[in-house]
Amino acid sequence: MAKSQRLFLIDGSSYIYRAYFAIRHLSNSKGFSCNAVLGFTKMLLKVIRDHNPDQLAVIYDAKGPTFRKEIYSEYKANRSKMPDDLVPQIQIIKDVVAGFNLVSIERQGFEADDIIATLARQKSAEGIDVTVVTGDKDLMQVVNERVQLLDTMKDKISGLAEVAERFGGTPDKVIEVQALAGDSSDNVPGVPGIGEKTAKALIQEFGTVENLLANIDQVKGKKRQENLHTFADQARLSRELVTLID
């Protein structure tokens, strides 16, 4: 039997930032900052050298607002603007990717995570083994028997077992837990007083956010019941924000 094709999807925008902050204050002889370029290129070479994928694509966030910003104006509002010395490095990194003759993808109105999720679902359904190169826990929701995550900076692979360990169940529970716990990095509000550990326990007990909200009277703790009543719509909004769409 022939081996399955292996597709690697690199979370480009996320890795550009990670490379920038991993290597600080590096510039060439002309004073041009090149820390992100170096870090990203080293990551790309490592993936190609260590894994030799059959197919590889780099996915970026497109400029401009996304549909999440339209439904929640405070989405990612807590983030600082891009550092000035990173801005000119972005195009150089894209040129490096093009120089390797690799596919680059970005789509107006959608985040890289949504595009990655769509491709991972489509290609895995076609029998292709997909590895998503990212450090973003949001993408744990797309893990399946043919989709895994690879964090090259931590040399860590996350599959179904790792998703179950962190979120207490199958990948479809990731959005349920995040809807309650929120996500401070993206300014997703969640429900006050509920962190990831508590959210995990609640979803293990009730299965989904909607079932939890329909049975608030069965939740332990008066204050937690009050918060779930008060912030029920916020939990639903948060669930919509963290769900990666096709």
Question: Per-residue pLDDT tens for 7-43?
Answer: 999 999 999 999 999 988 888 777 789 999 999 999 9
- Report the mean per-residue pLDDT for the chain: 95
* CA 151 – CA 134 distance, rounded (Å): 5
The proportion of the chain whose per-residue pLDDT surpasses 70, expressed as a percent, equals 99
Question: Per-residue pLDDT tens for 166-219?
Answer: 999 999 999 999 999 999 999 999 999 999 999 999 999 999 999 999 999 999
Has residue 62 been placed in a domain?
yes
Average of pLDDT values for 116-127? Answer: 98
User: Alpha carbon of 34 to those of 44, 82, 117: distances in Å?
Assistant: 15, 15, 30
Do 236 and 208 belong together in one domain?
A: yes
Do 131 and 227 belong together in one domain?
A: no
From 124, 158, 192, the end of a domain falls on 158
pLDDT given at position 97: 98
Domains identified in the chain, total number? 2
Average of pLDDT values for 69-91? Answer: 93
pLDDT given at position 225: 97
Do 55 and 110 belong together in one domain?
A: yes
Average of pLDDT values for 131-145? Answer: 97
Per DSSP, what are the bridge partners of residue 8?
A: 56, 131
Do 34 and 152 belong together in one domain?
A: yes
Q: How many CB atoms lie within 10 A of CB 75?
A: 20
pTM of the predicted model as reported, rounded to 2 decimal places: 0.94
Q: Which residue, among 15, 68, 109, 62, has the nearest Cα to 242 in the 3D structure?
A: 68
pLDDT given at position 28: 79
> What stretches of the chain adopt beta strand conformation (E)?
6-11, 55-59, 103-105, 129-133, 147-151, 156-158
